[in-house]
Amino acid sequence: MKYPVSLIALALAAPLAQAADLAAGKAKVETVCAACHGANGASVGDAIPNLAGQKSVYLENQLKALKDGSRKHQVMGAIAAQLSADDIANVAAFFAAQPGAAGTAKSAFLPNLAKTGVSFPEGYRDTFTWYHTINFPATKQVRYYYANPAAMKAAKEGKDLPNGAYLFAEVYSTKLDADKNPIKGSNGFFVADQLLFYTAMARDSGWGQDIPALLRNDEWNYAVFTGAKQHRPGVNQAECLACHKPLDKVSYTFTLKELATVANAK
C-alpha cells in the first residue's frame, strides 16, 4: 500500500516518544508522592486513592490537568504545579508498573512526615491573642483562631512570621436548629456547641530540614490535638504541608491578613 509523501514526511519528522525513566520516577515517588500514595502506590489512608497498577496515560493526564489548573484540587494542585513534564511521565510510569494494590492495603506514613515538632500550648488562653473566627458550613463547624506574641509582633511590623511563631485553632461543632442547620449568633458566626479538636501550626529552627522540597513550608510544622490535648493519631503532615505550600508569599498562612488587622489594632 502506498502512502502520500506528505504523510511519510510527517511521520519521519515526528519526534520519537522518550521512554519514561522508572528509576527517576521511583526516586520522586519515594521522596514526595509516598507521603500520601505510598512508595508502591498503596495509599496511607482511606480517603486517598491507590495508584498502583493504574494506567500510566490516565495518571499522566490527571497530573497534567492538575498542573495546568484544568482540574482543581487544593492539595494535589500544589504538588503537580512543581513537577516537570519528565517528572509527570516518570511518576506515572512507575505507579503503572506496580502490581495493583488490594483494597485493604495501606502504607505507613513517611517517618519524617509522621512526626511534628509542635506541642500543645498549655495556657494559650492567657498568652495568645484571638484574631479570627471562621464558619465551616460543610462540616457544621466553627473555628476560633489564636496567635502567640511572636506571631502578633511580626504581623504588626509587616514581617514574615518568624521561628517561634505559633497559630492555633479551637474547632467546635455548632448548635443546630430543627432542620439541622447551624444556628448563627448576632455576630454572624455559628454558635459553638462541643469542642471537637484543635489544629496548630508552628515553626522553629530546623523543623523543615527533613521535609521534601516539594512539600516543605520553610520551617513550619503542623499538628492536630484531641480534646484531651493529645496528638491525634493518624494525622499526615504531608496533607497540611501541600495545602499551605502555595502560600509562601503570606508566611504559608491562610489568615495572615486577619492576623495583621488585629495586631495593628492593638
For a pLDDT cut of 70, what percent of the chain falls above it? 93
Asked if 161 and 251 sit in the same domain, the reply is: yes
Q: What is the DSSP letter of 117?
A: S
Task: Average the pLDDT over each of 96-105, 144-153, 221-230 and give the range with the smallest value.
Answer: 96-105
Asked if 131 and 95 sit in the same domain, the reply is: no
Asked if 87 and 213 sit in the same domain, the reply is: no
Among 56, 252, 251, which residue's Cα sits nearest to residue 154?
Answer: 251
Last residue of a domain, one of 78, 105, 132: 105
Structural domain of residue 175, as residue ranges? 124-265
Read off the pLDDT band of 18 (50, 70, 90): low
Asked if 160 and 257 sit in the same domain, the reply is: yes
pTM of the model: 0.85
The x, y and z cell numbers of residue 250, run together, are 503570606
**Is the pLDDT confidence value at 3 over 80?**
no
Span 185-204, pLDDT tens digits: 999 999 999 999 999 999 99
- The CATH code of the domain that includes 64 is 1.10.760.10
Distance CA 150, CA 62 (A): 41
The answer to the question of residue 15 being in a domain is no
Edge-first strand listing for the sheet containing 166-174: 129-136, 141-147, 166-174, 192-203, 220-226
Mean pLDDT of 101-119: 88
Asked if 189 and 72 sit in the same domain, the reply is: no
Last residue of a domain, one of 105, 136, 161: 105
Last residue of a domain, one of 105, 138, 170: 105
**How confident is the model at residue 4, as a pLDDT?**
53
Mean pLDDT of 178-183: 97
Q: What is the DSSP letter of 248?
A: G
Asked if 134 and 258 sit in the same domain, the reply is: yes
Distance CA 231, CA 228 (A): 9
- Cell 513550619 sits at which residue? 220
CA 24 to chain centre: 23
Asked if 84 and 147 sit in the same domain, the reply is: no
Read off the pLDDT band of 14 (50, 70, 90): very low
The answer to the question of residue 7 being in a domain is no
The answer to the question of residue 149 being in a domain is yes
For a pLDDT cut of 90, what percent of the chain falls above it? 84
Instruction: State the amino acid at position 5 in one-letter form.
Output: V
Among 78, 190, 180, 177, which residue's Cα sits nearest to residue 143?
Answer: 190
Number of domains in the chain: 2
- The CATH code of the domain that includes 220 is 3.50.70.20
